[in-house]
Copies of this chain bind each other. A is one copy, B any other.
Amino acid sequence: MNVFHEIRAGRLPVPETPCLVVDESLARENIARVQQGVTAAGCQLRPHIKTHKMPYFARLQLEAGAAGITCAKVSEAEVMADGGAEDIFLAYPMVGDFRIKRALALSQRERRLILAVDSLEGAKALSDAAAAAGLPLEVRLEVDTGAQRTGVLRDHAVDLAKAVAALPNLRLTGIYTFKSLVLHGAPTQDNDAAGKEEAQLMYDTAQVIRAAGVEVQDISVGSTPTWRQAAETGLVTEVRPGTYIFGDWMLTREHCATFDQIAVRLYATVVSTPAPGYAILDGGTKTFPMDIPLDAEPYHYPGYAIPIGKDGQPDWNVQLRRMNEEHGILTAQNGETGLTVGQVLELVPIHVCTAVNMQNHVFVAQGGALRPMDVAARGMLV
């Protein structure tokens, strides 16, 4: 019986709203299941902490067998280091003197800190800073496999790898990518093909780099939608999913989690019901992220969060389609929301990573109690 059921049954009170509640047992099950799958594939798991941004959950992932953790920003990594993480991959181009300075300081605290490069300019600046500080740095080269964001284009990967490997004070140990649900350069719903392509493209890239005389120890890929398929090819050494720990509505639509595996809920109070057809929640754009557009192909999200009915299942009658900063306007498909002033509504976030980032703290349920926990790396943008 998960905590959301306990709350629905009135056996656990909802905290002050709007708030986000995590069922720790469900999160632990998600951690264990993915760890088991990655280990069974002979691969290593280095989960991305962007989803939870809390050292406590990073520790649970490490205790379950993760090889280390992944962060995007140095300020996030500092928070995780403060919380006990000793092996961190900063999977983001290490660019900017201010950021390199913090990364160098962090490298002295960590058993292993892996930085990232995707350009010669960036790698040179990093090499120079490492020389000035007298600190050698481990780096991985980011390779673009179709996401069209950071990452050197594959055609240029071997030249850049050779140039980076030749720079003093940098030790190039691997390559990495983020592709997720992209196949042959276009968005796909085919996790299987996308994961396999991701692994194959990276393995092929590693082979070309190796043939040029540069050692490639680690091949790191993967996201929650593709980690299994990529790991099971046997072509990669590491996967970096993040969202799997909590799950969200998007993952159920992407066939990467079941509804019952989602370990988080948002709760909000109905503050106003001016007319039968709409009702207003005490959270708007400062509570519910808008990074996943409504109605877009291929998943057609009907609202910025999915209201859950008293039966614990999605209530498709009420949709959160319009918001102001502190107002979430629910509209009824059948003309009547049936909601009353003061009622607390349970909702499933569409995208949990950005939903957690809206909260100063979340409530973690374990052993029949809810305890507040700071989202310590929230807003850590540098």
A340 touches B271 (CB 8 A): no
Give chain B residues whose Cβ lies under 8 Å from the Cβ of A340. Answer: 121
Query: With A72-B325, A92-B326 given, is the CB distance from A342 to B99 under 8 Å?
Result: no
Closest 9 CB pairs of A and B: A360-B379, A285-B291, A150-B272, A95-B271, A93-B271, A16-B98, A72-B326, A121-B341, A16-B382
In the complex, which residues 98-123 of chain A have their Cβ closer than 8 Å to any Cβ of chain B?
98-99, 118-119, 121-122
How many residues of A sit at the interface, in one of the four size bands?
A: 35 or more
CA of A152 to CA of B271 in the docked complex: distance in angstroms?
Answer: 12
A359 touches B342 (CB 8 A): no
A residues neighboring B (CB under 8 Å): 15-19, 50, 72-73, 92-93, 95-96, 98-99, 118-119, 121-122, 125, 144, 148-153, 269-275, 278, 280, 282-283, 285-287, 289-291, 293, 323-327, 329, 340-342, 353-354, 357-360, 378-382
Give chain B residues whose Cβ lies under 8 Å from the Cβ of A148. Answer: 274, 278, 329
Extra contacts, 13 of them, besides A125-B342, A149-B280 (Cβ < 8 A), are A16-B98, A18-B382, A19-B381, A95-B272, A96-B271, A96-B342, A121-B342, A144-B274, A149-B272, A150-B271, A150-B274, A285-B354, A359-B381
Give chain B residues whose Cβ lies under 8 Å from the Cβ of A282. Answer: 73, 92, 95-96, 381
Taking the closest CB of chain B, its distance from the CB of A371, in whole angstroms, is: 17
Of B119, B269, B280, which is within 8 A of A96 by CB?
B269
13 CB < 8 A contacts A-B: A17-B96, A73-B282, A95-B270, A95-B341, A148-B278, A151-B272, A153-B274, A287-B381, A290-B291, A291-B325, A293-B293, A325-B353, A359-B379
Give chain B residues whose Cβ lies under 8 Å from the Cβ of A290. Answer: 289-291
Taking the closest CB of chain B, its distance from the CB of A243, in whole angstroms, is: 11
Query: Closest residue to A328 on the B side, CB-wise?
Result: B149
Query: With A122-B342, A290-B291, A354-B285 given, is the CB distance from A92 to B359 under 8 Å?
Result: no
A378 touches B381 (CB 8 A): no
CA of A148 to CA of B291 in the docked complex: distance in angstroms?
Answer: 24
